Amino acid sequence: MNTILEYLDWRGDLNFISSPFNEVDNVLLTQLSYIDFEGIVPSSKEGKSISLPKASKAYFEKHDRKTLEKAKSLARACPFTMERMAQTERFKTIRLSHYEAHINEETHTQFSAMHIHLPDGTTYICFRGTDDTLTGWREDFNMLYQFPIEAQRLAVEYLNNTVSPYSYRRIRLGGHSKGGNLAIYAGVLCRPNIKRKIIHIFNNDGPGFWEKFVNTKEYQEMIPKIISIAPQGSIFGMLFEHKEEFRIVKSKQVSLLQHDAINWGVLGNHLDYADKFTDDGKVLHDAIDQWMERHDEAQRKKAVEALFGLLEATNAKNIFELLNVNMKSAQSVYQTFKELDKETKQVLLSVFGVISGEYNKTITNHVKKWIENL
């Protein structure tokens, strides 16, 4: 199966005039959002921009290549994808600006965005998805009981503050994972004069929203411009509610690994489509729906706070450290759990109970279908 990397080999020699912007370009641009461009890409206050080749060169001068290759990171491949993009005719003339990135552990907020100026006269405004930090993952879980989350509010503020009312450039919004969710939220609630500039909003395997939001007039009016893309076995992209149609894409990987867009299939100038989703994501969607129906916002908040209280007891700062906890950390988790009150323990255990129960049902159904087809 060919991917966005092969696309760079096939289409990299074609500029945006001879081959207009497409959904694969969108996926590639979202990879740039995961790169730490602090001190490289000018901020909103600086009012300047930098070409992709110069940004790539500066990044690799600042970071050791061997260290990057060995890094334990969900976005490990992104700098190297950028380097290849910068060497192509198609992407070497794009410019980057308005870079913002900050993380706040107290408010559980992780936010980053930037403008990507294309030679066809348009701008792709890209929002970063969830990174490796527990703060970023905590913010995602906060969606279970909080709406809007702080990053969503910041996305609207960023869009309103960085798109000039005097600019004639039309814009596309996009992002991968949580970044796709932020792109939609910002597009739906930004100023009317900005909405008129929006061509499309790309949500690349990002979660949906609470039902009360997708049923609003503002969201409904934006649906024709929303393009939601998700792999066959999508889990993250199936969370919460969506009203727009999905473009379902094949992936070289399975289960959670399908979330990484570098594994998505590509055919020519478009993605390699599948007919339907597998059951994995649907199961988790249904399980979370059931759990949210059974617990009010206060109980959900208590469960999320308890869960991350356990994770913080390990002293891990990111998910890779979490996967390598030692016995001492495990004992701290156990002790923290013991100190929870009875109600919190029950709500927390119900999260795992509902989800595991739904997966058991799915596995049972798979076995039944297999037996029926014998």
Sign, CA dihedral 123-129-135-141, equals: positive
Q: Quick: pLDDT tens for 248-288.
A: 999 998 877 888 999 999 999 999 999 999 877 677 777 77
Element spanning 237, H or E: none
Whether 189 and 53 map to the same domain: the answer is yes
Residue type, 256: L
Res. 138: pLDDT tops 90: no
The reported pLDDT for the residue numbered 370 is 45
Residue with tokens 């055919």: 267
Q: What residue numbers bound the domain in which 331 lies?
A: 282-372
Residues 296 and 199 in one domain: no
169 neighbors 197 (Cβ within 8 angstroms) = yes
The pLDDT of residue 362 is 52
Is residue 349 domain-shared with residue 273, that is, in the same domain?
no
> Are 239 and 317 found together in one domain?
no
Residues 10 and 106 reside in one and the same domain: yes
| Same domain assignment for residues 172 and 235 | yes
Q: How many domains does the chain have?
A: 2
What is the reported pLDDT for 360? 58
Q: What is the pLDDT of residue 366?
A: 47
pLDDT of residue 137: 83
Does the structure show a pLDDT above 90 at 307?
no
- For helices 52-62 and 78-86, the axis angle rounded to 10 degrees is 140
pLDDT band at residue 290 under the 50/70/90 scheme: confident
Residue 284: per-residue pLDDT:
72
Last residue of a domain, one of 277, 307, 330: 277
270, 289: one domain: no
Q: Which of 171-185, 237-251, 307-321 has the highest mean pLDDT?
A: 171-185
Q: How far apart are CA 252 and CA 265, in angstroms?
A: 7
**One domain for residues 165 and 270:** yes
Q: Is pLDDT above 90 for 316?
A: no
- CATH code of the domain in which 257 resides: 3.40.50
Choosing from 261, 277, 293, the residue where a domain stops is 277
Domain boundary among 236, 256, 277: 277
pLDDT value of residue 166: 84
Would you say residue 361 has pLDDT above 60?
no
Same-domain pairing of 252 and 298: no
What is the identity of the amino acid at 48? K
- The mean of the pLDDT values for the chain is 89
pLDDT, residue 58, reads: 98
Note whether 114 and 9 are same-domain residues: yes
Domain identity same for 289 and 322: yes
Average pLDDT over residues 65-77: 87
Same-domain pairing of 150 and 299: no
- Ramachandran region, residue 255 (left: φ > 0; alpha: ψ -120 to 50; beta: rest): left
